[in-house]
Chain A
Amino acid sequence: MRPVCLSFILLLCLIIEASGQEQKTYTNFPIIITLNFHAFALPFRDIKANFSNIGIGVGTEVSFTGSSSTGVQQVQAIWYHNKAMGNGLLLQTQSVWRPDFNSNAFGEIKGGVGYLYSFRPSESYQQVNGKWISVGRKGKGMLAIPVGISAGINSRSTNAYMSNFISYQFLLVKNYNKSIPIVPETLIQAGSAIH
């Protein structure tokens, strides 16, 4: 838990330090690009495992009010590599509450719903008409409930307006198998929303 907390605290310090005077201009449908680190783990446990399983994500968001970034709905598509548990493709949408710490810094609390297609980590087989056939790493689609917290800063230059953030997401994945109906997974995200 400590490395994540420290990261958030450091980021918050940077955010406060970096706060500027300019007014931000929120626009709908920014391009959100994320670097993702996945783990099959309980929240704030086995953080090291996250950094072995890298992924990428792309998404966007739209404001509930049309102009304010305080309440938005995000959509993300994330692919991650996980050698031990199998790769995954996560499509998720989350409602985000994004209070401003000051004009350039913000936090996020978000929750939503998603669909996780989790591949198997190794070659798999199925018997058809008495013969075993390989089905590759064919996996299973499952309902996911992602909740997360984030912190970020808005950054402006003459040509671009970007919001950089880090996020810690915890996913409850349903129907993994009949014996363990709900499993925990985590994602650490670092990304930018390009407005």
Chain B
Amino acid sequence: MKLALIILFFQITLRTQAQEFPAYCNWNEENSSKNYTKANELNTVLNNLVSHGVPGIAMAVYSSEGWWQSSAGFAKIETQTLMQPCHLQYIQSIAKTYMAVAILKLHEEGKINLDDPITKYLPQKISDHISNAYKITIKMLLNHTSGIPEYNSQPVYITYLLQHPAHYYEPEDYLKYIHDKPLDFTPGSKYSYRNTNYLLLSLVGDYITGNHANYIRESIFKSLQLKQTFYSGDSGYLNYSNLVNSYWDRNSNGILENASVLQNYNVKALVGDDGIVTTPMEAVIFLKALMEGKLISNASLELMKSWVNDRKGNSTYGLGLDYATFVGYKAFGHSGGGIGAGCQLYFFPDKNVFVFLGINLGTVTESPLNEINAKTIDKIYSTILN
């Protein structure tokens, strides 16, 4: 009986495409599969996740059955605002794929050579922060083989960020945290993921285009008619009524604090490596367009899929694309994690399926809730792909 009541409670909180959406939702019901065969099973998995203490989850799938979206839990616990597929999600490091696409478009336009040293495209005051910058190429930034140290793991940065949550950083401020630090390894010798690489790519973009954010807006957002995808410099950036609240398990004990201020200011200042908010559907639209060659040429896409290996010799990262394996299926895309959000955007080429998952719970620090997330992700992919 108790179980039945709990299930009933979460069924009430469940929103699928049948629900009426507020005006801010960019949701076209006609485009959605009303009879997605995996819908019931997936909704059960989403409900199970939020019943274990994750505030909210939203997802979108594009498969041979068409579009499907769903959500569960709360976008804002305080106001009991239900999570809906039209809520804006912080996509965190998935922004790197957008940044990489922008760089490859510049490459196609003949404005950048991927094998050139970064010093060719960065003002000296920027490249002076990087040791041996002349040895590092654009491609090394794109595939994380540069050896440049990570700015956001520096204790001085972390403590300052947390003590001053509303501090606004200029891009160069981040580089000061690694000023004159030696490279972690010889450029090109191995792969090691660094946010600094994509921060620098945004500055390369600025150098070439004048404003990389405008270039991304014009060449990606407008080109794909993404109306609910926003980045640095957009009007009212990150002040959107349909932007989720962010929650953080600060002490790894399952108690969640509202970390929206910290999350919002943090993301607002991040460029290249982060900074985009979007809806699940528009995230999938982006990846689908990329994989279908609508954003860049097939040759450029193949470049993005030129994988570097991890320590075990397995393919791990291309140019702004992550090579992953979920429940036995290979996937191309990216994941993202922040103080108050976590997400995944992947294409499964063997099944021709695209999936976006976003939660409004921070995933950068450990939480018992994130163990449940990992199991849920596998269940979701297993349900969709099998």
Q: How far is the CB of B359 from chain A (nearest CB, A)?
A: 14
Q: Are B257 and A46 in contact (CB under 8 A)?
A: no
Q: Are A123 and B159 in contact (CB under 8 A)?
A: no
Q: Are B364 and A179 in contact (CB under 8 A)?
A: yes
Q: Which residue of B lies closest to A50 (CB)?
A: B163
Q: How far is the CB of B125 from chain A (nearest CB, A)?
A: 24
Q: Does B78 contact A (CB under 8 A)?
A: yes
Chain A window 112-132, contacts with chain B (Cβ cutoff 8 Å), 1 for yes, 0 for no:
000000001111111101101
8 A Cβ contacts from A89-130 to B = 120-127, 129-130
Bound-complex Cα distance A178 to B165 (A): 21
Q: Does B29 contact A (CB under 8 A)?
A: no
Q: Are A177 and B163 in contact (CB under 8 A)?
A: no
Q: How far is the CB of B348 from chain A (nearest CB, A)?
A: 30
Q: Does B376 contact A (CB under 8 A)?
A: no
Q: Does B366 contact A (CB under 8 A)?
A: yes
Chain B window 224-262, contacts with chain A (Cβ cutoff 8 Å), 1 for yes, 0 for no:
000000000000000000000001011111111111010
Question: Across the interface, which residues of A come within 8 angstroms of B365, CB to CB?
Answer: 177-180
Interface residue stretch chosen among A11-19, A35-43, A67-75, A151-159: A35-43
Contact partner of B51 among A39, A124, A130, CB < 8 A? A130
Q: Are A126 and B255 in contact (CB under 8 A)?
A: yes
Q: Are A120 and B257 in contact (CB under 8 A)?
A: yes
Bound-complex Cα distance A130 to B52 (A): 8
Q: Are B77 and A132 in contact (CB under 8 A)?
A: yes
Question: Across the interface, which residues of B come within 8 angstroms of A184, CB to CB?
Answer: 155, 159
Question: Across the interface, which residues of B come within 8 angstroms of A46, CB to CB?
Answer: 159-160, 163
Q: Does A138 contact B (CB under 8 A)?
A: yes
Chain A window 40-59, contacts with chain B (Cβ cutoff 8 Å), 1 for yes, 0 for no:
11100110010000000000
Interface extent on B, as a size class?
Answer: 35 or more
Chain A window 141-166, contacts with chain B (Cβ cutoff 8 Å), 1 for yes, 0 for no:
00000000000000000000000000
Q: Are B164 and A49 in contact (CB under 8 A)?
A: yes
Contact partner of B250 among A123, A127, A129, A177, CB < 8 A? A177
Q: Does B9 contact A (CB under 8 A)?
A: yes
Question: Across the interface, which residues of B come within 8 angstroms of A84, CB to CB?
Answer: 162-165
Number of interface residues of A (CB under 8 A): 31
Question: Across the interface, which residues of B come within 8 angstroms of A127, CB to CB?
Answer: 51-53
Question: Across the interface, which residues of B come within 8 angstroms of A140, CB to CB?
Answer: 251, 253
Contact partner of B252 among A45, A124, A126, A177, CB < 8 A? A177
Bound-complex Cα distance A122 to B256 (A): 10
Question: Across the interface, which residues of B come within 8 angstroms of A49, CB to CB?
Answer: 163-164
Question: Across the interface, which residues of A come within 8 angstroms of B255, CB to CB?
Answer: 120, 124-126, 135, 138
Question: Across the interface, which residues of A come within 8 angstroms of B252, CB to CB?
Answer: 177-179
Q: How far is the CB of B127 from chain A (nearest CB, A)?
A: 26
Q: Is the interface of A mostly helix, strand, loop or mixed?
A: loop
Bound-complex Cα distance A121 to B155 (A): 20
Bound-complex Cα distance A82 to B165 (A): 12
Contact partner of A42 among B10, B53, B159, CB < 8 A? B159
Q: Are B78 and A123 in contact (CB under 8 A)?
A: yes
Chain B window 7-27, contacts with chain A (Cβ cutoff 8 Å), 1 for yes, 0 for no:
001100000000000000000
Q: Does A85 contact B (CB under 8 A)?
A: yes
Q: Are A178 and B366 in contact (CB under 8 A)?
A: yes
Q: Does B156 contact A (CB under 8 A)?
A: yes
Contact partner of B53 among A40, A126, A176, CB < 8 A? A126
Contact partner of A126 among B250, B254, B258, CB < 8 A? B254
Q: Are B162 and A85 in contact (CB under 8 A)?
A: yes
Question: Across the interface, which residues of B come within 8 angstroms of A121, CB to CB?
Answer: 257
8 A Cβ contacts from B153-187 to A = 155-156, 158-160, 162-165
Question: Across the interface, which residues of B come within 8 angstroms of A129, CB to CB?
Answer: 6
Chain A contacts to B: CB under 8 angstroms: 39-42, 45-46, 49, 84-85, 120-127, 129-130, 132, 135, 138-140, 176-180, 183-184
Top 8 nearest A-B pairs (CB, nearest first) are A178-B366, A177-B252, A179-B365, A178-B252, A124-B257, A40-B163, A140-B251, A127-B53
- Other A-B contacts than A41-B159, A140-B251, 16 sampled, CB-CB below 8 A, are A45-B160, A49-B163, A49-B164, A84-B162, A85-B163, A120-B257, A122-B258, A122-B261, A124-B258, A126-B254, A126-B256, A129-B6, A130-B9, A130-B51, A177-B249, A180-B365
Chain B contacts to A: CB under 8 angstroms: 6, 9-10, 51-53, 55, 74, 77-78, 155-156, 158-160, 162-165, 247, 249-259, 261, 364-367
